[in-house]
Amino acid sequence: MYGFYRVSAVSSQLRLADVKNNTAIIIETIQSQRDASVLLFPELSLSGYSLEDLFFSETLYTKQLKSLKRVLDATKGIDTIIALGIVLLDANRLYNCAAVLQDGKVLALIPKTYIPNKKEFYEKRHFNSGGDIIGRTVEMFDQQVPFGVDIIIQDAHYLSMGIEICEDLWSVNPPSNRLAANGATLILNLSASNELIGKSRYREMLVTSQSARAMCAYAYASSGFGESTSHTLFGGECMIAEYGTLLAKNEKFSHKTSLISADIDLQKLAWLRVAESSFSDLPRDSIRYVKAKNPPILKNIDINIDPTPFVPTNKDEKAHRCKEIIDILSYSLIARMQRSNIKKAVIGVSGGLDSTLALLATHQAFKLMDWNCRDIIALTMPGFGTTETTKKSAITLCNSLGVDLREIDITSIAQKELELLGHKNKDDVVFENVQARARTSLLMNCANKENGLVIGTGDMSEIALGWSTYNGDHMSMYALNSGIPKTLIRYLIEYFMDDAKLAKTLRVILDIPVSPELLEHKNGEITQKTEEIVGPYELHDFFLYHFVKYGASPSKILFLAQIAFDKKYDKATIKKWLELFIKRFFTQQFKRETMPDGPKVGVISLNPRADWRMPSDADMNLWLKELEEA
């Protein structure tokens, strides 16, 4: 369903050399995990890893093969893809291998490439590297089984799976690099990694960083407490990571079988790679793609979909992340002003979220450079819809920051232009846009007069929806907020509330409904609330992220949003605003084509000279039709 697969990693209860016991536990685990798409066991899971010279025993090897056949027979009728560790004897050489099984068949045998032979490990005494085995097959249980390091397992949909074994991950050039370059979006690692001080943290870093570098999901399962303690201890650690994020991790040192699971979006990973040009530069080589049956379809996807993908989830890192973002904004503005030989900044301050953040970031830039804050010219320009609350908030904020605050009432200017146009309607787009363009004209002319730079306040959410007046608030000399979505703007303003002299005013600003205040207010109350017209910005930011980041289809975005916003918005509501998002995103591209420069801050930018390029006259019906059928 939508490219989701359930991956499970297990550190099974183990008795060294007790192949019968180990096999029974493996079979029991397989039977209990029939809903898993992929089930991963540790390295040499049938016999145990730390048997040393007992691996030279024909008795052990023969028993292991018979037990593998028992496991194979037990998988008949089960579509879960299983990877477990075995010893393989081929051409008078022993290989440490992963056996991949499904529905009574051995799909592939993948040997370990890098054989550790240092300090507590002396694996070369027993095993050979399979790094040079390409294009081979071996006969096993009356079938020819692909054998080698050039194998990727695929189903008919989005599963594309490669395997490496323990030390392979620790090498300078892990096999997973090559596997990922050839399409593998899921890497399994069968491991037997011992415990040392600090090693667990380093293992986790390796797993998560490799999943990020290879743009893949990475599942890791290690041998546990049943291994030998003659020289070292094994903790049975299991981890699952996706594109740099750790999704699941078990508790080590369990005396029982320990299992973790995570539902992974392999469709998303595949399309992320398509969108990343650097990934497509990786060389491809000869790979065998072994076909598997489609694993079980997930009926109940167990995933945590972040409803605010642009907002950092780790609250402990809030100060660091906010400082990083504000630094990007501030230093971008500093560079632009220095290189343009401009000493003053001109900004329209309304008392709303966007102009507040732009003013705070501009003020921070001036503080960093020890410039005179009086060279920040803040124009507050009340019009027909301006309420006392927003006007007072703008004035209080500017006075607290010590900037040069100037007030210009635009009602007479707008009224004159409306009269010249012969326009009497007070609730249409003409009435609104006359005011927006009047404000922009004043900002531009003030900048000319003062040799200043007009700072744009429009955010990325508004840019996505085209919620701006063309050549009005759509235009500036530097679009400082253009890389910041609305949900992130709230987060950043909260960061500045640590300043006691700003906190009260910022709290008022955060509580004011989002509005352009272009329609006349009633009894001092805002009559034009943006989110009642275009929908909740938290939904639009969610749509924007998934649509632009990896090209998710409307039906998938709808599906993900239902999970992310469970109990807050029903399907009909989400679908309604998603349809509006698609329509506005397509029809408003012409505004993005002519938007001014502005700094990219996060993973997405809509600036046509930075990230997003599309024709202004592209047809949207393909996407609307797909959503209609969802």
pLDDT at 143: 93
The structure tokens listed for 551 are: 């090209």
Q: Is residue 310 part of a domain?
A: no
With helix as H, strand as E and coil as C, how does 218-254 read? EEEEECCCCCCCCCCCECCCEEEEECCEEEEECCCCC
* Whether residue 230 is found in the same domain as residue 367: no
pLDDT at 37: 98
* Whether residue 271 is found in the same domain as residue 363: no
Tell me the torsion sign for CA atoms 67, 68, 73, 75.
positive
Q: Residues 112, 268, 391, 591: which is the catalytic one?
A: 112
Lowest mean pLDDT among 56-60, 170-174, 276-280, 439-443: 276-280
* Whether residue 331 is found in the same domain as residue 286: no
Q: Residues 63, 97, 164, 166: which is the catalytic one?
A: 166
| Distance, C-alpha 139 to centroid of its chain | 43
**Beta strands 288-291; 258-265: pairing state:** unpaired
Give residues with Cβ within 8 angstroms of 31, minimum separation 6: 74, 78
* Whether residue 231 is found in the same domain as residue 323: no
The structure tokens listed for 270 are: 């595949």
Q: Is residue 203 part of a domain?
A: yes
**Is the per-residue pLDDT at 91 higher than 90?**
yes
The structure tokens listed for 505 are: 């005013």
Residue 578: pLDDT band (50, 70, 90) is very high
Angle at the Cα of 39 from the Cα atoms of 34 and 41, rounded to 5 degrees: 135
| Distance, C-alpha 606 to centroid of its chain | 17
Q: Is residue 29 part of a domain?
A: yes
Average pLDDT (295-304) is: 88
Average pLDDT (438-450) is: 98
Half-sphere exposure of 5 (CA within 13 A, CB side): 32
Kindly report the CATH number assigned to the domain that includes residue 547: 3.40.50.620
Q: Does 43 qualify as catalytic in the annotation?
A: yes
* Whether residue 73 is found in the same domain as residue 25: yes
544 vs 531: CA distance, rounded Å: 16
* Whether residue 68 is found in the same domain as residue 172: yes
Q: Does 166 qualify as catalytic in the annotation?
A: yes
Q: Is residue 59 part of a domain?
A: yes
Average pLDDT (3-31) is: 95
Q: What is the largest CA-CA distance in the chain?
A: 101
Bridge-partner residues for 5, per DSSP? 264
* Whether residue 263 is found in the same domain as residue 349: no
pTM of the model: 0.93
**Is the per-residue pLDDT at 229 higher than 90?**
no
**Is the per-residue pLDDT at 158 higher than 80?**
yes
196 vs 193: CA distance, rounded Å: 9
Q: Residues 43, 123, 242, 432: which is the catalytic one?
A: 43
Q: Is residue 204 part of a domain?
A: yes
Kindly report the CATH number assigned to the domain that includes residue 259: 3.60.110.10
595 vs 590: CA distance, rounded Å: 9
Residue pair 276/15 in contact (Cβ under 8 Å)? The answer is: no
* Whether residue 279 is found in the same domain as residue 319: no
Q: Is residue 305 part of a domain?
A: no
pLDDT at 527: 77
pLDDT at 151: 98
* Whether residue 41 is found in the same domain as residue 179: yes
* Whether residue 331 is found in the same domain as residue 366: yes
Number of other CB atoms surrounding residue 316 within 10 Å: 8
Residue pair 141/166 in contact (Cβ under 8 Å)? The answer is: no
Domain boundary residue, one of 235, 258, 291: 291
Q: Is residue 345 part of a domain?
A: yes
- Higher per-residue confidence, 514 vs 82: 82
pLDDT at 117: 84
* Whether residue 430 is found in the same domain as residue 369: yes
* Whether residue 241 is found in the same domain as residue 385: no
Number of domains into which the chain is organized: 2
Helix, strand, or coil here: 491?
helix
Q: Is residue 303 part of a domain?
A: no
- Higher per-residue confidence, 525 vs 456: 456
114 vs 206: CA distance, rounded Å: 16
**Is the per-residue pLDDT at 285 higher than 90?**
no
Domain boundary residue, one of 291, 326, 351: 291
Q: Write out the residue range of the structural domain in which residue 392 sits.
A: 315-628
| Distance, C-alpha 387 to centroid of its chain | 39
596 vs 332: CA distance, rounded Å: 14
pLDDT at 315: 77
Residue 525: pLDDT band (50, 70, 90) is confident
Domain boundary residue, one of 239, 258, 291: 291
Residue pair 557/626 in contact (Cβ under 8 Å)? The answer is: no
Tell me the torsion sign for CA atoms 314, 319, 321, 322.
positive
Q: Does 216 qualify as catalytic in the annotation?
A: no
